Structure 1
Amino acid sequence: MNKKTFAIIQQITSYITNVQFVIAIVGFILTIPHLLILTRKSMRSSSTNSIMTGIAILDLVVLLEVVLEHVYYFWIYDNPCINHSNYNFELFLWIGDFLKDTGERASFWMGVFLVLIRLLITKFKTAQRLSGYFFGYAVFTLTFIINVLISYYFYSKFYLQAWMVPWQPGKRCSEFPKGYSENLYVRTIQDQASYMAVFGNYSIIGGMSKILISVLYPVLAVFLIFDIRKSAKHASTANSKKAAKERYHTGRMILLMAVLYTITSAPGGISKFITLYCKVPDGSILMLLIGYGSIFLSALFCLNSASHCLINFSMSTNYRKAAKMVFFANRKQSSTSVLSVNLHLEFKL
């Protein structure tokens, strides 16, 4: 690949970085009311809703980390008057990477359990106990703990070490005294051989996880399509058409989420295995795509997270009712209080 083509592709990837930042902000703003709606009393009725609550919590953590990471690199990293590698910043990046990896992987698996539990409940009468609200939280807790341990296996191998050359402020930074300096810190490892073994295992786990997720989603989605068709027929013949239609819309909602999760997870798993088992030539398009691919995949994840609020609102009647209670309850209460005050004053007069 010649230098001109390389520069063009690199410029495109820089735009993706800006797009990722914007999508992460939008996703974070949308996920906050989404989480508030899912935690309403009227929504605490099934494991489907509690699992979606868990997904919203994980997405919120990842989206916040993406936003803060961009703020750091856009406004702090290139500032000559700020030590961008002091202990606190490096610790923040270290913890942020840990939470981001954990949250993304756990969110994908929570999506799998969302579809799987939905199918088990509709297919088997003995699986009705899985529909309990607290069962969904148990699934979320167990999934989160397992993924925390997986991330800890890798990130615990690092430690922060002071760099040999200290940081000094730029010439225009007049607020610092002459000759001022601070320690620079870097994330490093103790044993290179041990780290490479851990890195290989962690990459295999991550790749296998994403590949398995991207395979499970389409398979489960096919079964879910049959369930949706069955629900549609039931909705046209059942006495309780309202409940049957809600079940039908819930199935469609979960199916759409499964499709979006498949699109988001598959490229990441493929790229993981390419880097592990294929030799990527230096200066090639493939090397550039893999190098900057994590930004594109993260942008996809942010877009997927932002869509959950809109998907739920458009396809769930109960969700829309809970949303009205969240956003209009305060307005009704304030109107009622104003009316009572006016009546009280009129009565006095």
Structure 2
Amino acid sequence: MDFCRNIEFPKFKKPTALRLCRFQEDMRNFTFQLKQYEFYLTVFCVLINIFHFIILTKPAMRTSSVNLIMAAIAFSDICSFLHGIEQLYIRLSRILGNCLETTTYGFVLLEVPFFMLTDFSRRCSTWLCLSIAFIRTLVIRNPMDPFYQNLTKPKTAYFIIIAVFLTGISLGIFKMFEFTIESYDIESCCNSSITIHAFYNRVSDTFLANDAIILNSYHAVDAAFSNLIPCLLFPVVTFLLIKELWKTDENRRKILSTSKTTDSKRTTNLVLVFTFTFFIAQFPFGLNSALGYIFIETPGLM
């Protein structure tokens, strides 16, 4: 504990530093235990999202904008796991006895695109989920207005999906210039008698110049846009949605059939689940992304 307190939290008072050290150690142990099941979780999540995508893109399901947006979310989530699948391939190859040099130029060159794809997919998934909540709020608030009812049509989903993807790409492209590849000589892990050029990604000098102002600014903007703002908007939109449900529930029961009322409630419950899960998962992730680079001296590919 003393080492943690002196190295990790030297500017904090002893009681606070000890609590932070315990919390850090508990989180480290929890993460270590969870990573042992990473293979199973990754495969399970990919299979579930593939199943969702297939179901939601069937002709009968494509008549609803919410279903199409959910299909786009499933596709984004599949893409976000591709880097994990690459890591699992490396792990399985080693378990099977195949030697892989993961520090070759080809492997290292692919790290940035994989990281960009993961970052892009998470960003798109978050905003697509928020768009579902926004659509439900507008539709329920204006049940008799044809303009707002058109938001449930497929063309609305196509417009939102394209807009979110283009916005996410424009922000993600900037990350292409964040890293540069460096090399050093190292003993081969496959043959100890051979010395090879090993490659790795490091943050470029341009991003580190002037006390890393570009690096810190980019990650602060990226975290705010990708995680913090959507997670703060989610509770607001959900509160408005619940408020409108209380106001219009009696009228909706009179206007809509029982089946349509049930479908509407299911979609609304889906929005509530999105709100809680994204706020719990994405808000801490956004804070870490925004502030993490400020507190480390030698950032690399994370």
* TM-score, structure 2 as length reference: 0.78
Pair 1:254-2:271 in alignment: yes
Indicate the residue corresponding to 2:209 in structure 1.
193
Residue by residue over 1:170-194, the C-alpha shift from the partner in whole angstroms, topping out at 9 and shown as x without a partner, is: 457xxxxxx6554322224243317
Instruction: Letter of the 2:172 partner, please give it.
Output: S
User: 1:317-332 maps to which residues of 2 (within 5 A)?
Assistant: none
Indicate the residue corresponding to 1:183 in structure 2.
197
Indicate the residue corresponding to 1:92 in structure 2.
110
Indicate the residue corresponding to 2:40 in structure 1.
22
Instruction: Letter of the 2:83 partner, please give it.
Output: E
Do 1:231 and 1:245's aligned partners in 2 also have CA atoms closer than 8 Å? Answer: no
Indicate the residue corresponding to 1:323 in structure 2.
none
Give the aligned CA root-mean-square deviation in angstroms.
3.2
User: 1:72-151 maps to which residues of 2 (within 5 A)?
Assistant: 72=90, 75=93, 81-124=99-142, 125=145, 126-151=147-172
- Residues in 2 aligned to 1:113 and 1:229: alpha-carbon distance in whole angstroms: 21
State the Cα distance separating 1:56 from its structure 2 match.
Answer: 0.8
Q: 1:11 to 1:51 in 2, by over 3 A?
A: same
Q: 1:221 to 1:88 in 2, by over 3 A?
A: same
Pair 1:242-2:256 in alignment: no
SS at match of 1:129: helix
Do 1:208 and 1:269's aligned partners in 2 also have CA atoms closer than 8 Å? Answer: yes
Indicate the residue corresponding to 2:8 in structure 1.
none
Q: 1:229 to 1:80 in 2, by over 3 A?
A: same
Indicate the residue corresponding to 1:56 in structure 2.
74
Do 1:98 and 1:151's aligned partners in 2 also have CA atoms closer than 8 Å? Answer: yes
State the Cα distance separating 1:216 from its structure 2 match.
Answer: 0.7
Do 1:76 and 1:84's aligned partners in 2 also have CA atoms closer than 8 Å? Answer: no
Q: 1:156 to 1:46 in 2, by over 3 A?
A: same
Q: Which runs of 5 or more structure 1 residues have no equivalent in the other structure?
A: 173-178, 283-293, 295-349
Worse overlay, 266-275 or 84-93: 266-275
- Residues in 2 aligned to 1:24 and 1:32: alpha-carbon distance in whole angstroms: 12
* TM-score, structure 1 as length reference: 0.68
SS at match of 1:185: strand
Instruction: Letter of the 2:241 partner, please give it.
Output: L
Pair 1:168-2:191 in alignment: no
Residue by residue over 1:32-52, the C-alpha shift from the partner in whole angstroms, topping out at 9 and shown as x without a partner, is: 111000000010112111111
- Residues in 2 aligned to 1:195 and 1:54: alpha-carbon distance in whole angstroms: 39
Length, aligned pairs only: 274
Q: Which runs of 5 or more structure 2 residues have no equivalent in the other structure?
A: 5-21
State the Cα distance separating 1:133 from its structure 2 match.
Answer: 0.6
Indicate the residue corresponding to 1:175 in structure 2.
none
Residue by residue over 1:212-257, the C-alpha shift from the partner in whole angstroms, topping out at 9 and shown as x without a partner, is: 1121111111122234445653564446222222222221222222
Do 1:166 and 1:182's aligned partners in 2 also have CA atoms closer than 8 Å? Answer: yes
User: Once the two structures are aligned, what percentage of the paired residues are identical?
Assistant: 18
- Residues in 2 aligned to 1:249 and 1:196: alpha-carbon distance in whole angstroms: 47
- Residues in 2 aligned to 1:60 and 1:8: alpha-carbon distance in whole angstroms: 30
